[in-house]
A and B are shown apart, each in its own frame.
Chain A
Amino acid sequence: MMNSWREVPRYTSALVGLAIIAALVGLALYGIIAIPYGEAERLWRGGEGVWIDNPRNAQPGWVNLFPGRNLPETIIVDSREGATKRSGRGSDSVNTVQISLDFDYPYDDFPSELNLFFDARSRERPPHASLFWLTPDGRMLSLGEQNVESSERYSISLDRRLARQLGGQSPEVALFADPARESPQPLQGRYQLLVEALLFEAGTDLDARLVVYGKVHGLAGTDHLRRDITVALLWGAAVALAFGLLAAVGSSVTTLIIAAMGVWYGRWADASIQRITELNLILPALPILILVGTLYTRSIWVILGIVILLGVFSASIKVYRAIFLQVKESPYIEASQAYGASNRRIILFYMVPRVIPVLVPGFVTLIPSFVFLEASLAILGLSDPVLPTWGKVLNDAQQNGALYKGYYYWVLGPAMLLMLTGLGFALVGFTLDRIFNPRLREL
């Protein structure tokens, strides 16, 4: 047994597989450590407050590595952090404040959105702000004026009046477009948003923050709710591996012990285990899980329990039974009986270990099959409501027509990771099969 394990490094496929598994485990561990469980849950529940500074449906950052691509990243200019803010005295106890939000825009594409967030502190009369847009070529466009009530958001890109003023194009395009060109092309250079506000009360203050949403974000992009998909990919790895491993260990070890018990006690125990197995083999597992998910609960732990339960009386019970029937007649089993080993001891220490070489390769390939099962359930919309998982990302992508709209990255990340999981475990499993299965042994 130990010698067999030592053979593993001789197979390149096993090394590649182990490297992939190690990378996935590393990913999962990093996810768990960097984003604690509660934090991950909060982030994935999301809401505007959590992800407000992220663009919607942004592509992953690495797309800019392709030649000829220079998609904008998100730019944030805040009057409290860096932007210039000048206060002045006007007439009749009216103060003025001038906030100049300027930024460089070196990208080849238009931003996806423009938002201006005000933070006004006034008692009765809200400040009155006028907005001006200064382009690199020296044009100055008025973006209108408004009263600012406490914390307020001005979605420049959604302002239809402004769009009409700018000639029908949506503001995030019109404001950045080079007027010299026929087709809209962004003009690169330094832009400035000027906020000139009148403060009517003493002690009133106004701050402004401009978010120029880009078209790329992070390592994995964002979804329709501005959530960073990286969170789901990291935590998805942890959930997938934990689910796969627990389900595989739970079902295969229980299967092994039940098969051994059936063979050892024989008679009605064996017969009933075989009948239950045959019954279970014709029951379709996926529809049962869908029923449970739809009618009862979608908690991943309950689903895990049912997966294990359905996996216990699986076809492998028949395989193990065939081996155990042979092992049971071995002289050493009879010898152990002669020196009074208890039934439990014979099953656990004498019979079960004999089947472990047969179990190991199958066990390793069983893990990804449970990972896929969990993903399939999630794609069908039956995943745990709070945990971010790969399948859930795929489900979101599917519901939002990701591929139709060209958001390929949304599907690509989780799908790649799922495939890698399958590949890694399959490579290791096949190698172990070659080592442990005498008929496939290479000498």
Chain B
Amino acid sequence: MKAGAPLLLQVQDLRLYFRTTRGAVQAVDGLSFALGHRQALAVLGESGCGKSSLARAILRLLPRNVHTYTGQVFLNGAELMSLNEDRFRREVRWSGISLVAQAAMNSLNPVIKVGEQVMEPLVTHRRLNREEARQRASKALQLVGVPVDFLDRYAFELSGGMRQRVVIAMALVADPPLIIMDEPTSALDVLTQANIMNVLKGIKKEVGSSFLLITHDVATSSELADRIAVMYAGQLVELGDAAGFFPGPLHPYSKKLMTSVPRLRGGSRPEFIPGQPPSLINPSAGCRFAPRCSFRFNRCQEDPPLVEVEPGQWVKCWLYPANSNAGSHAG
């Protein structure tokens, strides 16, 4: 991270633990990263690694059983964690950060029309009059390829792909600087996924927002992201530019993740990662991937720091000695 660079989002040591009967679940455990303007960061990781909890932690959409919720989040330099609930709702949600939620197809209100639904953020935040709001809503819908006459339909009258587009249009409609997309293409069939991907690529070109793309789908992230973050067991294990990451992932987990993707050309069969992700309740003190890692050695019993091994490439593994001109990263 270069000092003075204009950063849109800066997350420092973000922690979100959930209280359960068996102990605290460390869903997000000391995450730090930054995202510039007009950038797309993909957060990769398998199910249950805390990707969605990260989105919730940034947008402060917390369930009842929060155990710990600490750290700092800056949006355009302004600290968000210290805002009270009401200011956070007014100033951050949707006007600052919008979300395409995981079960996007079900995140439409079944009793109001699609048009009204897309207008909701405008009406709640911008206090626009209905005519203006309706125009902006239809513009946003056009951007994602939804015919304008869908404005007067109900959500149940739309197909899954159309609903997904409507949800994306909702995220765009208020022009927020940051859009978080939590698995935008899961729960869709392959053809529709491809359609939505094209929509997202189109949006990325036309809209001046940054994207935080949360996905377990390596292919999706490779098409959209400028930067890649890999999460494992609630922690960031690798952070780097997409251009550097895809040809040569550094962390053993990232490598395994890449080999698990089936390839169109070349004879290599997809591999799987042996073992299971660790329980996030009282995880082991050392490297959390160590039990499944084929490069495991003695030092893995200690927790490795996230170090910058090459400019812009950070990794949390003892295999990589810290680059001499880069310091240890907080976290």
Contact = CB atoms under 8 A, between A and B. Distances in A.
Nearest to B94: A339
A331 interface: yes
A30 B299 CA distance: 93
Interface in B97-119: 98-99, 101-104, 106-112
Select the residue from A1, A335, A350 with max chain B CB neighbours within 10 A: A335
A21 B92 CA distance: 52
B95 A349 contact: no
B89 interface: yes
Nearest to A356: B111
A146 interface: no
Given A339-B120, A340-B121, A354-B111, A330 B170 contact: no
A349 B170 CA distance: 17
B64 interface: yes
B183 to A, nearest CB: 12
Identify whether the interface residues of A are mostly helix, strand, loop, or mixed: helix
Given A332-B106, A332-B110, A345-B124, A266 B101 contact: no
Interface residues of B, number: 29
B256 interface: no
A64 to B, nearest CB: 57
A295 interface: no
A340 B124 contact: yes
A339 B103 contact: no
B201 interface: no
B61 A338 contact: yes
B124 A342 contact: yes
Contacts of A345: 124
Interface string B112-137: 10000000110011000000000000
Given A339-B98, A339-B99, A332 B90 contact: no
A380 to B, nearest CB: 43
Contact of A336 (B98, B120, B174): B120
Contacts of A266: 64
Interface string B57-91: 00101001000000000000000000000000110
B38 interface: no
Interface in A293-333: 330-332
B99 A335 contact: yes
Interface in A329-381: 330-332, 334-342, 345, 349-350, 353-354
B111 A340 contact: no
B204 interface: no
A340 B90 contact: yes
Contacts of A334: 61, 101, 107
A266 B106 CA distance: 23
B166 to A, nearest CB: 11
Nearest to B173: A339
A6 B192 CA distance: 34
A391 B124 CA distance: 49
B106 A330 contact: yes
Contacts of A340: 89-90, 92-95, 121, 124-125
A341 to B, nearest CB: 5
B101 A335 contact: yes
Interface string A246-277: 00000000000000000000100000000000
Contacts of B59: 338
B101 A338 contact: yes
B101 A331 contact: yes
A337 B101 CA distance: 11
B174 to A, nearest CB: 8
Contacts of B101: 331, 334-335, 338
A339 B93 contact: yes
Interface in A232-250: none
Contact of B61 (A337, A342, A349, A353): A337
A133 to B, nearest CB: 78
A1 B111 contact: yes
B94 A349 contact: no
Contacts of B120: 336, 339, 341
Interface string A196-221: 00000000000000000000000000
A337 B89 CA distance: 8
Contacts of B125: 339-340
A338 B108 contact: no
Contacts of A336: 109, 120
Select the residue from A1, A339, A342, A353 with max chain B CB neighbours within 10 A: A339
Nearest to B180: A338
B61 A332 contact: no
A336 B89 CA distance: 11
Interface of A: 1, 266, 330-332, 334-342, 345, 349-350, 353-354
Given A339-B125, A339-B170, 15 more contacts: A331-B103, A338-B59, A338-B61, A338-B93, A338-B98, A338-B99, A338-B101, A339-B121, A339-B174, A340-B92, A340-B93, A340-B94, A342-B89, A349-B109, A350-B109
29 contacts: A1-B111, A266-B64, A330-B106, A331-B101, A331-B103, A331-B106, A332-B107, A332-B108, A335-B99, A335-B108, A336-B109, A337-B61, A338-B98, A339-B94, A339-B98, A339-B99, A339-B120, A339-B121, A339-B125, A340-B93, A340-B94, A340-B121, A340-B124, A341-B124, A342-B124, A345-B124, A350-B109, A353-B111, A353-B112
